[in-house]
Structures are given as structure tokens and as C-alpha cells.
Structure 1
Amino acid sequence: MSSAVNILLAEPRGFCAGVDRAIEIVERALQKFGAPIYVRHEIVHNTYVVNDLKSKGAIFIEDLADVPPGATLVFSAHGVSRAVQEEAAARGFNVFDATCPLVTKVHVEVAKLAREGYEFIMIGHKGHPEVEGTMGQLDSGIHLVEDVADVAHVKPAQEDKLAVVTQTTLSVDDAAEISAAVRARFPKIREPKQQDICYATQNRQDAVKLLARQVDVVIVVGSPTSSNSNRLAELSRKLGVPSHMVDSAADLQPEWLEGRGRVGLTAGASAPEILVQAVIDRIRALGAVAVQRMQGIEETVKFPLPKGLKLDA
């Protein structure tokens, strides 16, 4: 690697308000009720965060049958289906819902419009827990589209009452392209008042667009399962800049930096800053001489904790 390597840090990057809140819910539950606390699905899609919470007494499960009666259960930030909520209530767990409020907003909109007789087209990735949670708000009437080609195959029962919703962590540009195809096929479709893609996803993607113009390679700190982290790496590549995702500093390959004097560094919304600093240390050890922060939006969003976990509770 050439010796004069400069690191440019994206702003904003890393944790968003929904992730902060979800992790704090698990930590507060551990403090208040003691270990173990059960969490349905990874609380957020980050290996470091999950392992850290496991070391404190969190047990991550997919099947509610693995949770003993009377236990405290936390739903992950991605949200859950109505069936999971109902099963948890029937089993009598002490439940705290760490679903990101921006995902809950989509669930509320789906429930409200369904009562008015609407069917839905959901733009999202099949199998992602957020998509399963949102589609699971209804027994039927939600059609998933993953790309523009899927739009042609949607067969709603009627077209007069049709609405579109979106996974909150998609590529902003891809979602806009798919939305345009949906509108072209269903001109009367109802769209959300505010786009479903969350502010943090939008801000991190906007920052990568600025970052990619100024660097020779982009490193994204994020776990392979993290949708929004994957979108950052994809976006950089679409802009013609090589990009690599790392779950930790140990994943960084020195050859990625060969002959690249300007290294851009960002992190998905579920990746903690401690991992970013570890990657900076590793690049410094490989010869980086300077770290510079980009100018960027300062995020001030903060979401309240559920009742029963506040400090005075």
C-alpha cells in the first residue's frame, strides 16, 4: 500500500435513532429484570452488537416456543407480524417492542388502509424480517415486488383501492425506480404522505454519493445481513468506485487499498462507532497518514423508550 493514504469519514454514518433505542431496550430490560432476556431475531443486524448483548445475558431466538413461560421477550427493531404478537401475548410473556418507530408507522398505515378496503404493493426484499413483519400485519392483500420486473406480475383483486409501502432500508434510487413502475401500471395508487424509506437510510446514502466522488475506494462497516449496509456498498459500486463491506477490522484486506491514496469510510445504521475506530486503526497500521471528516447532516432524532423501561419506572 502506498504510504500517503488519507481516510475520509462519511457524515452521518453508523447508529440511527431506531438502533440506539432497540439496543437500549435490551440493556434496560437486562438491568431491570436480570438475565436472561429473550430477543426474537437479532435485535439489529450487526454481529458485534448481538455478541455484546449475548455476553450480558440476552438470548436470541427465532421461535417463541424456545422462550420459557413468564420470561421477558423483546421484539427486534425490524418488527414482527401480528401472528407473532398474538402468540407472545397468548404465551404470557413480558413483552417489550423494540420495533423502530419508523417501521411501526408503516404497520399503522397498513392496518388503517386495510380497514378502508385497500390492497397493498410492498417494495422490499423477500425474506427480510422487516418485510415479513409488515406483510404479516394482514392475512392477505399485500403483494411483494423486489424489482421493476416484478411489477408486471402483480395481480390485485381490484385497482380502485391500492396503496404502496416500502421497506425502510432500501436503496433510495432503486425504490424510486420501482415506485415509478408501480405508478405507471397503477396510476391511481395511493402513496404514503412521507416516503417510507427512513431518514437515516436516506442520509447515509446521500453521504456515500458525496464520499464516492472524493475517494478511490469505499469501505463500509456493516454485517452481511444488514440491508442498509449492503445498499451503501452497492451504491458506491454503481457510482464506479470499488467498495468492500467489513464486519470487523480483521476483515479488511490490505490489497483493497493498494495504489489507492484516498479511502472513504462509512458504516451502516446498525454498526457501532467502536468498529469504525478499529478499522481506522487498522488502515493507520497499513500506512494511513490522515483522517478527515466530511461535512454532513447532524442527526438529532431520538425515539422514546417503551413504558416500563424508563429510569424512573
Structure 2
Amino acid sequence: MSEQRPPLEIRLCAPRGFCAGVDRAIQIVDLALERYGPPVYVRHEIVHNRFVVDGLKAKGAVFVDELDEIPDTDQPVIFSAHGVAKAVPEAAKARNLFHIDATCPLVTKVHREAEILHRKKAREIVLIGHAGHPEVIGTMGQLPTGAVRLVETEEDARTFTPKDPDNLAWITQTTLSVDDTAAIVAILTERFPSILAPHKDDICYATTNRQEAVKEVAGDVDAMIVVGAPNSSNSQRLREVAERAGCPFAVLVQRASDIDWNRFAGVRRLGITAGASAPEVLVEEIIDAFAQRYETTIDVVTTATEDIAFALPRQLRQAAAE
């Protein structure tokens, strides 16, 4: 007689997984491979997910850290969804490389915002974000060195010394914790009352929606799994949000094979979400792994509906139509 499996209620957050910017970036690489054939070169991971990157590699995408790793070629060179400093497309043009920009349009919005605040309004820019993240490097690289000052924490906001306290503006990385960012902005606004805010929040709709869904679930479960990569900012923020919202144990997991089953002993209600660069197939893989060990029921908790899609770059629109 087979051993009876313990019951497990899975509370599945919605929205979760791919956002419109990630979906567009992956589609750009796929369409470039279809239209131009391999190899297609991609500077940095197109999105922060090893499963996605490996899948594109298998189709003929070649990922590089910098343009100087790419030989002289007529094949496409694609910039990742996180955005790049201005020096990168300039270097591509200098080498006559055929480049396609897969930067998320919501990141591009932040880039344009920074330029307007700096060039037209002569403001010193405070960028709230995480040092070393590709998006932050790209945003800071839109303006001359020193024009953008990075603030990562509340303590940074308290100790930051501007050139002119009456001539500031703030912008943010698109994948931050909504609550952490609000706390930092509150400190900056209190210290510098004339600081300019963005016309519209820079934290993107997908980041906000996924965090709200996690907050709805986190207090009612024994544990939370965030499907995502360690270098994915929005995935790491989801794990942090879950813990702060009352979840006793929240963990980032890339694949079902990464699950430490001992840590889930005694769990009877499990929350599952996925970062914006994690494909749904990995969520299904993890649900299946629990279903092999538990008698599972699934309750989908929906806090928002997303129907946003972004236009493809001009070079690939015909390929998409075909």
C-alpha cells in the first residue's frame, strides 16, 4: 500500500512571470535568429534567467560581455532588456555593427527622463538603485560622469551631499521594492523639498503588480517560493517583500532540482510566484515537483490583470508579421 501524501494548498500569485519588456526582448532574439540566421550576438544576458539564455544559445544566440568579443560581422548584435550606456551603441556604430536595441521601453523612458532633467532643466540627478546592476549602469551612462548620483539605501539618502540642494531631481531603477523606494524618496523630499519627482513612477507596472500579489498571499502561507535567478533584481525584491509581509520562510528557486525539501517539511500552505524574467514552464515544473510529494490543491490569487504589449524594433516588425 502506497504511503499517503500529506495535503498542500498552493496559493499561486497572479500576475507572475514574464512582463511585456522581457517577452519583447526574448521575441527580438528569436525573430532575429529566424530572419538573419545564427549566429546572433547578444551583449549580456538578454534577461536574467539561465533557462531562457540556455534556450536561446541552443538556437544559435551567442552571448558576450562586451562588444570587443564580437568579430567583424554583418550579423545582428542585440542589446539586452536592461538597457546600455550611450557609449555602447556608439561603439557599435564605430565598428559598423548591425545592432538592435532590446531595451525595455520603460527603461528607455527613465533614460529620456534623465536626459531632459539634466540637459533642459540643469538638475543634478539622484538615481535610486543598486550599484552594479546592468540597468543602473545603463541609466548612469546616459549622462556625463558625475551628473548622476547613486543612492542605494535610506542611510545613503540621509548622508547624500548634493552640489546644490535646490537643484535636484530623482529617478529610479524600474525593478526596486516599492516600499523601500518610497522610504528613500520620503527622506530625500524631507531633506530637499524642491527635489523634482518623475512625471510618472519609474518602478514599472510589472514590478509593482508582482509585489502587490505577493503581499496579498505572504501572510497566509507557511512558505513562499519565488521562481527566479539570483541576479534578477525584481525576483530578489519579491523574496524580500514576502518576508516583510509576514511569510515565515521565503526562498528564491531557479528550478525544481534546486528545492531543499527538508526546509518544506511541515509546510501546509505554500505561496508561489515568479520574477518578471522567469518563464511559466519553470513555475509548472516546481508545482509538478510538489504534486509528486503532496496531495496538492491550487488557489490562484489574482490582484491585477495585465494586457500591456510593446512594439518591436523597426528592423523586426516585418519578420513578426510574416
Map Cα deviations across residues 65-122 of structure 1 (whole Å, 9 max, x no partner). Answer: 0112233111100000011121111111111111000000000011112112111000
- Counterpart of 2:184, as a letter, is I
1:150-189 superposed matches below 5 A = 150-189=156-195
Pair 1:100-2:104 in alignment: yes
Alignment counterpart, residue 72 of structure 1, candidates 76, 85, 94: 76
TM-score, with structure 2 as normaliser: 0.95
- Counterpart of 1:285, as a letter, is Q
SS at match of 1:164: strand
2:207 aligns with 201
Q: Structure 2 unaligned runs (5+)?
A: none
Name the Cα RMSD after superposition: 1.3
Pair 1:236-2:242 in alignment: yes
SS at match of 2:316: coil
Could you tell me how far apart the structure 2 residues matched to 1:188 and 1:179 are? 12
SS at match of 1:152: helix
Pair 1:59-2:66 in alignment: no
Alpha-carbon contact 1:38-1:71 (below 8 Å) kept:
yes
SS at match of 2:272: strand
2:149 aligns with 143
Map Cα deviations across residues 176-216 of structure 1 (whole Å, 9 max, x no partner). Answer: 00111111111100000111000000000000000112211
- Counterpart of 1:126, as a letter, is A
1:23 aligns with 26
SS at match of 2:142: coil
Map Cα deviations across residues 111-135 of structure 1 (whole Å, 9 max, x no partner). Answer: 1121121110000000000000000
Give how far 1:155 is off: 2.8
- Counterpart of 1:81, as a letter, is A
TM-score, with structure 1 as normaliser: 0.97
Map Cα deviations across residues 20-51 of structure 1 (whole Å, 9 max, x no partner). Answer: 00000000000011111111110000010011
Give how far 1:261 is off: 0.5
Could you tell me how far apart the structure 1 residues matched to 2:257 and 2:268 are? 21
- Counterpart of 2:303, as a letter, is G
Pair 1:127-2:124 in alignment: no
Give how far 1:291 is off: 1.5
SS at match of 1:8: strand
Could you tell me how far apart the structure 2 residues matched to 1:28 and 1:126 are? 32
Alignment counterpart, residue 211 of structure 1, candidates 217, 225, 234: 217
Alpha-carbon contact 2:239-2:250 (below 8 Å) kept:
yes
* Structure 1, 295-304 or 122-131: larger mean CA deviation: 295-304
Alignment counterpart, residue 233 of structure 2, candidates 227, 235, 239: 227
- Counterpart of 1:270, as a letter, is S
Could you tell me how far apart the structure 1 residues matched to 2:295 and 2:181 are? 36
Could you tell me how far apart the structure 2 residues matched to 1:205 and 1:243 are? 13
Alpha-carbon contact 2:36-2:75 (below 8 Å) kept:
no
- Counterpart of 1:283, as a letter, is F
1:33 aligns with 36
Give how far 1:2 is off: 6.7
1:13 aligns with 16
Alignment counterpart, residue 115 of structure 2, candidates 100, 103, 111: 111
* Structure 1, 126-135 or 249-258: larger mean CA deviation: 249-258
Alpha-carbon contact 1:7-1:288 (below 8 Å) kept:
no
Give how far 1:57 is off: 0.6
1:296 aligns with 303
Could you tell me how far apart the structure 2 residues matched to 1:187 and 1:18 are? 34
Could you tell me how far apart the structure 1 residues matched to 2:166 and 2:240 are? 36
Give how far 1:243 is off: 0.4
Could you tell me how far apart the structure 2 residues matched to 1:64 and 1:105 are? 24
Could you tell me how far apart the structure 2 residues matched to 1:201 and 1:41 are? 21
SS at match of 1:122: strand
1:278 aligns with 285
SS at match of 1:294: strand
| Poorly superposed stretches of 4+, deviation over 4 Å | none
Could you tell me how far apart the structure 1 residues matched to 2:208 and 2:300 are? 19
